[in-house]
Amino acid sequence: MDSEIMYAATALLTLLAAAEGVMWMRCRKRLKTSQAEIESLNEEMRNVRSLDEATGAYNYPFFVKMANIQIKLARRHRWPVTLMIVDIEQLESVNLRYSFKTGDAVLKHLNDSIRSVVRTSDVMGRFGGSGIFILLTECDTENIVTVRERIEEYIDKNPLMTGEKQIEYRRSYGAVTMYGKQVHLNRMLDLAEEALGRAKEQKKELVIFDKEGSEV
């Protein structure tokens, strides 16, 4: 009799342990799911904080952060670095003629077109109210001419459509190229904006400056 009681008690303890184990596994699974959901939400929040709402490109503070990471790498390897600004000419006219929603669609179209052409390692950000920054490592003055041509070709082949209407918009390009230890983001930002201004003023397709601010 005692042995039967002992056997029953052992069996009961085994069942309780198994049940506890199942409950523990379920708790762990739920915990992992919760952690995954939290991480997913955190990633969404990071994206919200880092991305420009209209274009999907990085906002200016996050662009600067990511650009400096790439520049640090380029300086170490002595790569050429080019910063180019692509700016939509007379975006206000688009807003007035169509709507601000259409103006945002133009900005998004420009951003998506550039992203389709450049490398995933190239850093893109919102420039002012009407343009996009692109920081390209291992990219010299000859390469950036090719990049611009590819952007223009892509937009020509994939125009922005709203319903059956094609929305056309002109673009200006200003760029600066520096090499290795010369590369400094603040200086590049200033020179690229100056190059863009000259391109608009002289109605040129693209103006490229060197580190001294001289046109290449």
Report the share of the chain in percent with pLDDT over 90.
Answer: 57
d(CA 128, CA 130): 6
Q: How many CB atoms lie within 10 A of CB 5?
A: 9
Q: Which residue segment(s) compose the domain that 176 sits in?
A: 60-209
30/97 same-domain check: no
Average pLDDT over residues 194-216: 94
195/97 same-domain check: yes
Report yes or no on 148 lying in a domain.
yes
27/72 same-domain check: no
42/91 same-domain check: no
135/174 same-domain check: yes
pLDDT for 169-186, tens place per residue?
Answer: 999 999 999 998 889 999
**Is the Cα torsion angle 104, 110, 113, 114 positive or negative in sign?**
negative
Report yes or no on 215 lying in a domain.
no
Higher pLDDT, 115 or 162: 115
19/120 same-domain check: no
91/28 same-domain check: no
Euclidean distance between the first and the last CA atom of the chain, given in angstroms as a whole number: 101
pTM comes to: 0.77
66/10 same-domain check: no
Report yes or no on 137 lying in a domain.
yes
Report yes or no on 173 lying in a domain.
yes
pLDDT for 62-89, tens place per residue?
Answer: 999 999 999 999 999 999 999 999 999 8
Report yes or no on 55 lying in a domain.
no
Beta-strand relationship, 165-167 and 160-162? antiparallel
Report yes or no on 128 lying in a domain.
yes
124/150 same-domain check: yes
130/85 same-domain check: yes
Q: In degrees rounded to 5, what are phi and psi of residue 41?
A: -65, -40
111/70 same-domain check: yes
15/67 same-domain check: no
Q: How many domains does the chain have?
A: 2
Length, in residues, of the chain: 216
Report yes or no on 155 lying in a domain.
yes
